[in-house]
Amino acid sequence: MSIALLFPGQGSQAVGMGRALYERHPEIRPLFEEAESVIGLPLRQLMFEGPPEALQRTAITQPALYLHGFAVAQVRQIQAQAAAGHSLGEFTALAVAGVFSFSEGLYLVKVRAQAMQEACDKHPGTMAAIIGLEEATVAALCSEVTEGIVVPANYNSPGQIVISGETAAVDSVIEKAKAAGAKLVKKLAVNGAFHSPLMESARHKLAEAIQPLSFHPPRFPVYPNVTGCAESDPSRLKALLIEQLTAPVRWTQTLQHLWEDGIRTFYELGPGTVLNGLVRRTLSEAITASYDS
């Protein structure tokens, strides 16, 4: 049975995340302590008790998700043949695969989260989910907008695509998508245009943090968001991790390539079941399970 580990990104966080894990497994508590020391925030309190609005802040959400997913992987010790992560989750996948250490990944996540928040403050934007249209149709609608930046940002599953960009441009595509027959169009509760050109300043800052680090060959292939294909070369994994901030998350393609490469079982490690839902919508015969502790 070939297994892939999947790690979630922003949107999967919830108050109470990690509490059961922390209480049941004393051996992983040092990870929480280290994370609080590096991030400089009371992550345990924020994860276990909230408030929700604090946990939704990028600078808190990203390290919380990274910490939770990595800790679950240490407890479960699943013998996997591949790994992938959605957006922020790619950092967790790389750390679990041994490309860099937990501490190095935590530092990169801190830099990434802070840089993304700064980019959001400097270039406000938004994102919206479009359900019921083909990928090519959504891409064409985005290209029709000449006033402002808007691009496909997440190819989550067949017929479910997220767009990202300047607010007015996103609003324009929302109206076009409705006219084109989309089943549902919903603006997301975010304050930034993730995985779009508006994240260019964040990409530069993340690159400065990533370039000096030594990336190691993974214990099993990791499927980066940018290509959705199996990668084991450290230099490729490094370059694609930098590119990820301004490139779309090709999650549909990632799942399809995992299936083509023989993966039949998908374990989501971390809070929520968002990724398992996307697996079921993309690969009807796949076996799925979720572990948060």
Annotated catalytic residues are 87, 195
What span, in angstroms and rounded, lies between the C-alpha atoms of 77 and 195?
31
In the numeric block, which tokens belong to residue 150? 């808007």
CA end-to-end span of the chain: 22
DSSP string for 60-117: HHHHHHHHHHHHHHHHH----SEEEESTTHHHHHHHHTTSS-HHHHHHHHHHHHHHHH
Residue 73 burial (10 A CB sphere; 0-12, 13-18, 19+): buried
Length of the chain: 293
Contact in structure between 81 and 220 (CB atoms under 8 Å): yes
Any alpha helices (H) in 196-233, and if so which ranges?
A: 200-210
Nearest Cα residue to 206 out of 85, 8, 62: 62
Place of tokens 């790690």: 7
The token pair that represents 189 in the structure block: 């509760």
Question: Helix, strand, or coil here: 244?
Answer: helix
Contact at 8 Å (CB) between 41 and 119?
no
Strands (E), the chain: 3-7, 82-85, 126-131, 150-157, 160-165, 184-187, 265-269, 287-291
Nearest in space to 9 (alpha carbons), one of 85, 101, 100, 111 = 85
Residue located via tokens 């390290």: 63
